Amino acid sequence: MTDHDLDLDLLIGHDPDVWVPLPATWPHDGHRAPRSWIKATVRAVAERSEGATRASRSWLTEVLSALARWSPADERRYLYLPDIATPPSLLRVQYGFAQGDRDTALRAMVLESDLAPIEPPVVEEIETTDLGRGLRGVRYSAVDGDDGLFATLVYALRAEPYDVRISCQVGGPEGVPAMLAEVDHFVDGISVVPAE
Amino acid sequence: MSAAGYVGRTAGTVAASYSIVVPPGFVRMPGGLDAREAAAVVAAQLGEPPASETGAATPDWRLRFGSALGRALAADVHGRVLDSYLTAGPLPGTDVVCSIVVATVPVTRSGHADLDRLLLRRVATHGAEAFVLAGDPAVVWDGFGGDTASGGKSDGGEGVASLTPLRRRTVLARIAGHDDRLISLVLTVGVAARTEAAPGDVDADTDVDARGRVADALVDVFDAMVSTFRWRDAESRLVTDRPLA
């Protein structure tokens, strides 16, 4: 790595009407602690939702409280939450310095997971505006105690100096087509810029 | 339950069973059951008590599932049905029901008739399209004409509430590692008996166009289900054609 590489950062341009950036450190998004951030976020999501109820607000408060307590390093997390009644999807952007052969590394990022798929995902090539070509797969897993399948979208890109892996938990297979469009758009909004 | 994992397909792969992704709203009925057993199995999946001895639950049962269930059973004239998948009564807001019957078809081989040729003949005789089902040669065609793999064109049979068929789509395919049988998947979309419409169901004058669109959508669902069809080997591992790394 050169010093120049270390001065680069990931810029993630997201649509704030559908994605809620989750805190990695505090202060976050102008809030010094989880409490005020959770309150403000619940209010913002409820305002853009028809039929927000007291129950749905308290449910979202619980979800955000849990997520605010969990802050893995080298990872940025977003919650797909266009509406308080829409089942949220957790999106994770993981990145580290690029290592090894590009194609091998990207395939491994799409294919390998803690949650074993029922079948290896079909790996497709995607094209992004700023990061160039990458790979995408849809993984389907069987979850204990549940008859259904659990779908996860996985993207892998080499954006020098980083390898970037984006994964988004979708829930049931029926949600895949709609979320593919959303997450494709999200991934297209990622770029590498000089760090401030 | 966790899956038993997957394994790459090789020249020596022998299918022992299959798996298919079934959308919500369908119930699975294993083959080889008589009508009473089948009713109990379906009822258990629906979380309802099976028809009691007193028959208290029977009328509702017959109205909701009778025709599709009876049809699926009647189609299994050779007892080769592996599974049937039935909509849990008419689709909400419609009087449309559908069944998918998965069956094996024994084939006698001879020097003049191999299985690939048998499939290809469907292209000429039924206007079938060739495709690949879980890595094996297959054909698919629409319509009611001619014989179907799972027992012909019998329309239900005695004692079965009438069902007006709207669509039928048949898949016939080779089975990995077997050269003495084929597998068929038969979709039948129909209108539940009008005279026995359940209370609260839409009346008999459902828009014909709307019904057609529902039937077309079910054909699309069937094609999507067929795309998830995979063989499982003797250890119940899913057999995949996809690169493993």
Enter the tokens of residue A72: 């893995």
d(CA B103, CA B105): 6
ipTM (interface predicted TM):
0.75
Per the structure, how many domains does chain B have?
Answer: 1
CB A59 within 8 A of CB A69: no
Q: A116 to chain B: nearest residue by CA?
A: B5
Per-residue confidence (pLDDT) for residue B112, from 0 to 100: 67
Q: What percent of chain B has pLDDT over 70?
A: 66
Phi, psi of A187 (to 5 degrees): -65, -35
Query: Was domain A87-196 assigned CATH 3.30.1490?
Result: no
Handedness of CA B84, B88, B89, B94 (dihedral sign): negative
Residues 6+ away with beta carbon under 8 Å from A74: A94, A95, A96
Residue B192 forms part of a structural domain: yes
d(CA B65, CA B59): 10
Q: How far is CA B13 from CA A35, B107, B118, B119, in A?
A: 57, 20, 22, 21
Residue B239 forms part of a structural domain: no
| A55-110 pLDDT tens trace | 999 999 999 999 988 877 778 999 999 999 888 999 999 999 999 999 999 999 99
Range A39-49 average pLDDT: 94
Tell me which chain A residues have a C-beta less than 8 angstroms from the C-beta of B2: 116, 142, 144
- In the predicted model, residues of chain B with pLDDT beneath 50 are 1-3, 49-59, 61-62, 146-160, 196-197, 204
B220 touches chain A (CB under 8 A): no
Range A165-187 average pLDDT: 93
Tell me which chain B residues have a C-beta less than 8 angstroms from the C-beta of A174: 23
Per-residue confidence (pLDDT) for residue B4, from 0 to 100: 65
Residue B2 forms part of a structural domain: no
Q: Give the start-to-end residue ranges of the domains of chain A.
A: 15-73, 87-196
Confidence of residue A3 (pLDDT cuts 50, 70, 90): very low
User: Distance from B102 to chain A by nearest Cα, in Å?
Assistant: 20
Confidence of residue A116 (pLDDT cuts 50, 70, 90): confident
Q: What is the DSSP letter of B144?
A: S
> What H or E segment, with its residue span, contains residue B136?
strand B136-142
Residue B133 forms part of a structural domain: yes
A101 touches chain B (CB under 8 A): no
Per-residue confidence (pLDDT) for residue B46, from 0 to 100: 65
Handedness of CA B39, B41, B42, B44 (dihedral sign): positive
| B179-205 pLDDT tens trace | 888 999 999 999 876 554 455 555 545
Residue of A121, A122, A144 with shortest CB distance to B2: A144
Residue B10 forms part of a structural domain: no
Q: Provide the domain limits for residue B48.
A: 21-232
d(CA A150, CA B224): 17
